[in-house]
Amino acid sequence: MARKTVERNISYDDQRKLYYVSMDLGKDQAGRRIKRYQTYRTLYAARMGLRNFLTHREEELRTPRHELTLADWLESWMDNIVRPTRAETTVYGYQKIIDNHLVPALGDIPLLKLTPMDIQQYYIQVQQNASLSSNTLRRHHDLLSSSLRSAVRQDKLLLSPMDRVEPPRAKQKEASYYRPEELKQLYTLLEGHPLELCAKLAGSLGMRREEICGLKWECIDYQRQLLSIREARTAFGATIVQKETKTRSSVRTLYMPDDVVRLLRAEQERQIELFRTGRLSEPSQFVVLDHKGWPYSPNALSLAFTRFVKKNGLPRVTLHGLRHSFATVASFQGVPLFDIGKALGHATPATTGKIYTHLVDHTHADTLLKVSDALK
């Protein structure tokens, strides 16, 4: 008796007492269907065999087939995904990591053969040879993770090897800052100096250096003593750009103390006089200008402040350290971390606590002392 179909793709030969499973392997070059048959002694075994074949076949059909190297994919990812959607500063930072590190070390590896061990060994190699910090290396990890996730979404990879890579452990930098008495000393030394306004915007208002450099006169409300932070002036390589603030939470309005208002009025009057006497070709929309009358670049402003600190024998704190100093003084005055974070433009109190661990420690000390005093 001939084979009899019992289920789709399964037939039974009652003479040989065997079940036959028909396995479709697709078509040959001439367009003819290719089939293979496998025999099983029981219907259950035949069903399992067919199921395993179909599962394997589906995975095989889904598996990407291409000859892209990691360098090829990173170039495509940057051109088609990163550049159209990310800020110029982000694009610049990514490209430097790709050109200086990733392509020389891993670029020739086919994307489909890139393994977690390749990446893990890269972390060890680049940390030793390039002496990169763990925080910098974490940026390499984040870039690879993002690019290879995109490769999965674009069907260039079935799975990302980054899912099985141990990320470099980033170390939280300890914030350098001035205590209240040290900040007062700095302000005294800066009286009448061109950097006085910048220092107070950072130390008394908690502004970032990029926010100081990007501050425009239209954002100053003298009547209500309010300063609005909407933009930032930042640098990548030799290029300076005016852009939106770091995050949505960075957009904020700050109250200006009287001494900051006084300094702002004086600077605005100075700029008007420079324009009137021809030393400025046109009125500047920026609050902070360098000695040539141009808007300050963040790096140049930081360098000028560092030189002032060194020249006057003050503790080594950067311009960004004045922002940390603002948070420290506020904490010493009993201001909650939540309110400090809002003034600084942090997205959550957790961000503030993570950066300013010394403030948390200070708060814990106050708490424990209060409990101890209550129990005496």
Query: What is d(CA 321, CA 107) in angstroms, rounded to the nearest whole number?
Result: 38
Cβ-count burial of 278 within 10 angstroms (0-12 exposed, 13-18 middle, 19+ buried)?
Answer: exposed
Query: What is d(CA 297, CA 307) in angstroms, rounded to the nearest whole number?
Result: 16
Contact 93, 87 (CB under 8 A): no
How many other CB atoms are found less than 10 A from the CB of residue 279? Answer: 11
Residue 31 has pLDDT above 90, yes or no: no
Cβ-count burial of 301 within 10 angstroms (0-12 exposed, 13-18 middle, 19+ buried)?
Answer: buried
Confidence of residue 356 (pLDDT cuts 50, 70, 90): low
Q: Phi first, then psi: what are they for 339, rounded to 5°?
A: -70, -35
Residue 336 falls in which region: left (phi positive, over 0), alpha (psi -120 to 50) or beta: beta
Residue 359 has pLDDT above 60, yes or no: no
Which pLDDT does position 153 carry in this prediction? 93
Q: What does the block give as tokens for 234?
A: 């930042």
Determine the straight-line distance between the first and last CA of the chain, rounded to whole angstroms. 101
pLDDT above 70: percentage of residues in the chain: 89
Which pLDDT does position 149 carry in this prediction? 96
Cβ-count burial of 326 within 10 angstroms (0-12 exposed, 13-18 middle, 19+ buried)?
Answer: buried
Query: What is d(CA 53, CA 74) in angstroms, rounded to the nearest whole number?
Result: 35
Confidence of residue 289 (pLDDT cuts 50, 70, 90): very high
Continuous H helices in the chain: 43-62, 70-77, 83-85, 88-97, 103-106, 116-129, 134-153, 180-190, 196-203, 209-214, 258-276, 298-311, 319-332, 337-344, 349-355, 357-374
Query: For the chain, what is the mean pLDDT?
Result: 87
Query: What is d(CA 299, CA 210) in angstroms, rounded to the nearest whole number?
Result: 9
Q: What does the block give as tokens for 103?
A: 């392509």
Regarding predicted confidence, which is higher, 169 or 124? 124
Residue type (1 letter), 18: L
pLDDT in tens, 178-189: 989 999 999 999
Query: What is d(CA 61, CA 25) in angstroms, rounded to the nearest whole number?
Result: 11
Which pLDDT does position 99 carry in this prediction? 96
Continuous segment of H or E residues that includes residue 10: strand 10-13
Confidence of residue 48 (pLDDT cuts 50, 70, 90): very high
174 secondary structure, DSSP code: P
Cα–Cα separations (whole angstroms), residue 75 to 44, 91, 152: 50, 12, 16
Which pLDDT does position 155 carry in this prediction? 87
Which pLDDT does position 361 carry in this prediction? 56
How many other CB atoms are found less than 10 A from the CB of residue 56? Answer: 11
Confidence of residue 158 (pLDDT cuts 50, 70, 90): confident
Residue 219 has pLDDT above 70, yes or no: yes
Confidence of residue 224 (pLDDT cuts 50, 70, 90): very high
Confidence of residue 250 (pLDDT cuts 50, 70, 90): confident
Residue 60 has pLDDT above 80, yes or no: no
Residue 368 has pLDDT above 70, yes or no: no
Confidence of residue 119 (pLDDT cuts 50, 70, 90): very high
Contact 10, 24 (CB under 8 A): no
Read off the pLDDT of each residue in 142-168 and give the average, rounded to a whole number.
93
Confidence of residue 312 (pLDDT cuts 50, 70, 90): very high
Residue 248 has pLDDT above 80, yes or no: no
Read off the pLDDT of each residue in 276-287 and give the average, rounded to a whole number.
91
Mean pLDDT check: name the lowest of 144-158, 314-328, 334-348: 334-348
Q: Which of 3-17, 42-56, 61-75, 256-270 tops mean pLDDT?
A: 256-270
How many other CB atoms are found less than 10 A from the CB of residue 91? Answer: 16
Which pLDDT does position 196 carry in this prediction? 97
Which pLDDT does position 375 carry in this prediction? 58
Which pLDDT does position 373 carry in this prediction? 66
Which pLDDT does position 240 carry in this prediction? 80
Q: How many residues are there in the chain?
A: 376
Query: What is d(CA 92, CA 149) in angstroms, rounded to the nearest whole number?
Result: 20
Regarding predicted confidence, which is higher, 349 or 6? 6
Strand partners, 226: 221, 255
Cβ-count burial of 60 within 10 angstroms (0-12 exposed, 13-18 middle, 19+ buried)?
Answer: exposed
Q: What does the block give as tokens for 270?
A: 């100075």
What 3-state class would DSSP assign to 220? strand
Strand partners, 292: none
Residue 59 has pLDDT above 80, yes or no: no
